[in-house]
Structure 1
Amino acid sequence: MRAPRPKVALAAVAVAALAVAGCAESNRDEGSSESKKDTLVFGVAGDPKVLDPSLASDGESFRVSRQIFETLVSAEEGGTKPVPGLAESWTPDATGTVWTFKLRSGVKFHDGTDFNAEAVCINFDRWYNAKGLMQSPDVTAYWQDVMGGFAKNESPDLPPSLFKSCTVKDATTVDLAFTRVSSKVPSALMLTAFGIHSPKALQQYDASNVTGSATDIKYPSYATEHPTGTGPYKFKSWDVANKTVTLERNDDFSGGPKAKIKTLIYKTISDENARKQALRSGDIQGYDLVGPADVEPLKGEGFNVLTRPAFNVLYLAINQKGNPKLADLKVRQAIAHALNRQALVDSKLPPGAKVALNFLPDTVEGFNGEVTKYDYNPEKAKQLLAEAGASNLTLKFHYPTEVTRPYMPNPKDIFELLSADLKAVGINVQAIPLKWSPDYLNATTSGSAHDLHFLGWTGDYGDAYNFIGTFFDRPKDEWGYNNPALFEKFKKADTTADQAARVALYKELNADIMNFLPGVPISHSPPALVFAKDVTGIKASPLTDEKFETAEFK
């Protein structure tokens, strides 16, 4: 998951939190304890970018959208395996390119219209036939990551589309056809970006009318005021000034028991300590991205701390276009040997974090424990730099501000440790701090101005391609290299239908990546979220796909 805020004074955040909790507070004052327990306010680190998940690429947008929309394929609760969602079952044909989905019957969208096979095809046709700014990677990132291009590509840089067509067989049966066998199908269809929308609402609010420019995108009202799905909660309001998104229970939800809590409010509190203070004071009833040092104290106070399995990676990216010296493998190897990753894990990450050997965690099939390893060895780093004629190297090192991510609890602390390691072997570091969104993300994933930066990824589903394919299967500005042999091997892995053979190719790819060393995998970290002492019923998800409809006050 992309993958994605301003830091404010603690007192100011506390005041804001109190103001926003007003609806919950007024419920408390208005009467019964029953009304008091109808609202759960959950603290998050950043604002959502957009509420139409088809146009999102950041975790905070998907966090809200998951409650509003359902997908054909879902993820098992607390895990990564695909299970039925809006589709009860799916089967491929003999070629592996046409998949038949049997749909749940009796499902209604939040606007009262019926969910059926025709609605599924309208959604896929919307994505496939996108035009103009809808083809920008900043607008339809996940469609492009999974499906590639569109019916009519408007840029020569776009690849052919993996998706081919959607055919209605009957009201509850739909065929999705693809141009080739792909490891992404059906697992990728659990991505929130493939949430199914009400066709009526899409048309009524002109949902694909994205305007502006690539640097100043203007979203239609559907994406900010009228997102309409079939999920356990319905959209009520987005108060940008007060940094809250309010959802109300969908009493017609057919995907399971209806939500136990009537109102769910997401409240942005950027500062980690302010989130903790708001929980302790009762102004919020839970928050995400608990600081590593706060996990045990909060447990000791009786709060319900849930730790997600480590299903992410933090990495240092090395841009080979940014500085010609970085195209030299010995320089990249020197950087890897310079970094004391174990010290970073021990001092800055939560219990259970570990140094990364691959760009994916060891719980994913295809992990390879026999890859080339780069132990902490400053003397070897100095030697490699000397051999490359780069002993006086100066690198621009970008790092993000005003953000907390599951794989990256405190970016400034991480930057300081990594830059100190680099300086210790003679690499001069020019620090370039940038606000996370959009400045940092734009600067590091496009252009060639950056030399080093760190980013991370939380997996979307349990296939190796979702990690290493997302990073390395084609040329990308983030890394600034062209490696046709590597790209071709990725294509082979993705089109290999046999699971055992595909896993073997993933292991080879992990070895190739660590030999080529486009960057350095740093760590895998188990992020935590916390709830009030009387909130139960939520199971931690490695995909950050927690089911809030099961939450209740006890």
Structure 2
Amino acid sequence: SDAPYHSVGGGFYPFFAATGLDQLISQVQKVDPYTVDIILTHPDSSFLANLATDFAIILSKEYADQLASNRQRELIDKRPIGTGPFKFVAFKKDYYIRYQRHESYWRQGPSIERLVFSITPNANKRMLKLVTGECDVIPYPLVSELKSLNRKEIEVRSEVSPNVSFWAFNTQRPPFDDPKVRQALSYAINREAIIDTIYYGNAELAESILPPTSWASSDAELKYHYNPEKARKMLREAGIPRGFKMDIWAIPVQRVYNPNARRMAELMQSDLAEVGVDARIISYEWNTFRRRLSRSEHDTVLIGWYADNADPDNFFRPLLSCAAVASGSNRANWCHNGFDQILYQAISTTDNAQRKQLYHSAQQLLMQQQPLLPIAHSMRYQAQREYVKGVELPPYGGISFRLAGKELPAQ
């Protein structure tokens, strides 16, 4: 925390805190110009996976020293430099980011000279820009409109995506501190209808917070099937009166794990009305939403997670550990010492068979305590003009333009 760049950008690092990275690294020692030793305070089998993610980039010390000497440390976030295939040119908030090809890139790079990100949060506007040729590639095309993109000049690509959407209960706020209430509300939700209506079938019903593609996923039978009669009975047994009022916060932005949280909340609102619960839907502008969510003002929230790497720990500690409550990334505000102990046992061994058993135990405990209801694992889509070549859709997010090029049809 006394490092000269620690406070740049606010000095708040929720992922590092939630995964214990801030307590894990003891020293970083230079061995030679191309080698460092990273000394850990304790074993952590997820460390290499975390080290390989996009947020663990190496920044230029020479550049950092230059900015510090000119009292311009904050520019390290606003005017970045690095060793990638493109060089940063300009950024205009809410409008665009401009790049140009890095001629001295160390390996094979793109054939295009310029790359422009046109910042377009509205999915309909993105689709229109693609169809009219104003842009070449769009992420997150509307799943409801995929069939309309079935035309010669447009290609739709898909990728099995390590993500999950979920409904998190604020377990520090009564009556959601009672597992029976959380279980009852989970039985009230028709998730199959959500898969059909919100994802148009382009998602898989979530049996766990872990996607089925994870090597640690459990094949345990899904517990919370849609059962409004059971939900009503359990709510009354838990002392929840008919007409009980609660909030569902719905993220106001489109995400790969949830293409339309507002519409999903409306379906859930209708389901909850069937069991005597009066749910109000709340949404704010995204920055306000995140700020108020971090202050735990919500009863429940529809949100989700996109994995940074293939290690199963990436779905557990950042979302559900006690440390993640303190850092703000645990939206259920659920701290269970037994669950934490299982997670730390799992990262303390390199035996994958043992780790798998521990993660199965963690998933069983989650189903019993039900701090959140997993809803869906969604396919990820990208649409582009047919002449675009070499644009990759990496499994862990983002779009790779490293080999981007154009192959225009012959006139």
Q: Is the TM value for this pair above 0.5?
A: yes
Inter-CA distance 131–531: structure 2 relative to 1 (3 Å threshold): closer
Determine whether 1:348 maps to 2:202.
Answer: no
Inter-CA distance 295–209: structure 2 relative to 1 (3 Å threshold): farther
Shift of 1:466: 0.2
Alpha-carbon separation, structure 1, partners of 2:9 and 2:133: 44
Alpha-carbon separation, structure 2, partners of 1:278 and 1:166: 47
Deviations 1:398-417 (A, max 9, x none): 1222x111111112111111
Determine whether 1:144 maps to 2:22.
Answer: no
Shift of 1:183: 2.1
1:532 equivalent in structure 2: 385
Inter-CA distance 474–209: structure 2 relative to 1 (3 Å threshold): farther
Determine whether 1:433 maps to 2:274.
Answer: no
Inter-CA distance 173–539: structure 2 relative to 1 (3 Å threshold): same
Choose 294-303 or 349-358, whichever is displaced more. 294-303
SS class of match (1:434): coil
1:290 equivalent in structure 2: 141
Structure 2 spans left out of the alignment, 5+ residues: none
1:331 equivalent in structure 2: 181
1:86 equivalent in structure 2: none
Give the alignment partner of residue 266 of structure 2, picking from 396, 416, 425. 416
Alpha-carbon separation, structure 1, partners of 2:36 and 2:398: 26
SS class of match (1:504): helix
Deviations 1:287-344 (A, max 9, x none): 111110222221334311111213100000000122x111122111111100000100
Amino acid at match of 1:426: G
SS class of match (1:489): helix
1:117 equivalent in structure 2: none
Shift of 1:209: 8.1
Amino acid at match of 1:273: N
Matches within 5 A, 1:152-231: 161-206=23-68, 220-224=74-78, 226-231=79-84
Shift of 1:397: 1.7
Deviations 1:66-106 (A, max 9, x none): xxxxxxxxxxxxxxxxxxxxxxxxxxxxxxxxxxxxxxxxx
Inter-CA distance 177–553: structure 2 relative to 1 (3 Å threshold): same
Shift of 1:500: 1.6
Aligned residues: 401
Determine whether 1:395 maps to 2:240.
Answer: no
Deviations 1:20-61 (A, max 9, x none): xxxxxxxxxxxxxxxxxxxxxxxxxxxxxxxxxxxxxxxxxx
Choose 374-383 or 174-183, whichever is displaced more. 174-183
Give the alignment partner of residue 256 of structure 2, picking from 406, 425, 433. 406
Shift of 1:144: 2.6
Structure 1 spans left out of the alignment, 5+ residues: 1-126, 150-160, 211-218
Instruction: Name the % identity.
Output: 25
Shift of 1:196: 1.2
Alpha-carbon separation, structure 2, partners of 1:373 and 1:388: 19
Deviations 1:453-496 (A, max 9, x none): 11111111101110122111215162233311111111111112
Amino acid at match of 2:112: I
SS class of match (1:186): helix
Amino acid at match of 2:57: G
2:105 equivalent in structure 1: 253
Residues 372 and 514 of structure 1 are in contact (CA less than 8 Å); yes or no, is this contact kept in structure 2?
Answer: no
Shift of 1:148: 3.5
Residues 397 and 429 of structure 1 are in contact (CA less than 8 Å); yes or no, is this contact kept in structure 2?
Answer: yes
Alpha-carbon separation, structure 2, partners of 1:524 and 1:284: 28
Shift of 1:538: 2.1
Amino acid at match of 1:340: N
Determine whether 1:501 maps to 2:351.
Answer: no
Shift of 1:134: 5.4
Amino acid at match of 1:416: E
Shift of 1:532: 0.9
1:448 equivalent in structure 2: 296
Amino acid at match of 2:126: R
Alpha-carbon separation, structure 2, partners of 1:207 and 1:329: 55
1:31 equivalent in structure 2: none
Inter-CA distance 206–130: structure 2 relative to 1 (3 Å threshold): closer
Please tell me the root mean square deviation across aligned C-alpha atoms, in Å: 2.2
Amino acid at match of 2:75: S
Give the alignment partner of residue 244 of structure 1, picking from 96, 99, 105. 96
Give the alignment partner of residue 543 of structure 1, picking from 382, 388, 396. 396
Residues 392 and 401 of structure 2 are in contact (CA less than 8 Å); yes or no, is this contact kept in structure 1?
Answer: no
Alpha-carbon separation, structure 2, partners of 1:188 and 1:132: 19
Shift of 1:347: 1.3
Amino acid at match of 1:195: I
Deviations 1:419-459 (A, max 9, x none): 111111111112221112x1112222x23321111111111
Alpha-carbon separation, structure 1, partners of 2:5 and 2:400: 34
Amino acid at match of 1:347: T
Residues 9 and 77 of structure 2 are in contact (CA less than 8 Å); yes or no, is this contact kept in structure 1?
Answer: no
Shift of 1:269: 1.3
1:6 equivalent in structure 2: none
Residues 18 and 321 of structure 2 are in contact (CA less than 8 Å); yes or no, is this contact kept in structure 1?
Answer: no
Shift of 1:259: 1.6
Residues 28 and 38 of structure 2 are in contact (CA less than 8 Å); yes or no, is this contact kept in structure 1?
Answer: yes
Alpha-carbon separation, structure 2, partners of 1:182 and 1:246: 39
Deviations 1:243-298 (A, max 9, x none): 100111111111x3122111111111121111111111111111111110222221
Determine whether 1:487 maps to 2:340.
Answer: yes
- Relative contact order: is structure 1 or structure 2 higher (C-alpha 8 Å, sep ≥ 6)? 2
Deviations 1:198-241 (A, max 9, x none): 1121122239989xxxxxxxx812211x2011111111111226
2:132 equivalent in structure 1: 281
Shift of 1:147: 4.2
Amino acid at match of 2:77: A
Inter-CA distance 530–206: structure 2 relative to 1 (3 Å threshold): farther
Amino acid at match of 1:355: L
Matches within 5 A, 1:352-371: 352-370=202-220
Alpha-carbon separation, structure 2, partners of 1:492 and 1:428: 41
Amino acid at match of 1:468: F
Shift of 1:132: 6.6
Alpha-carbon separation, structure 2, partners of 1:260 and 1:385: 61
SS class of match (1:398): strand
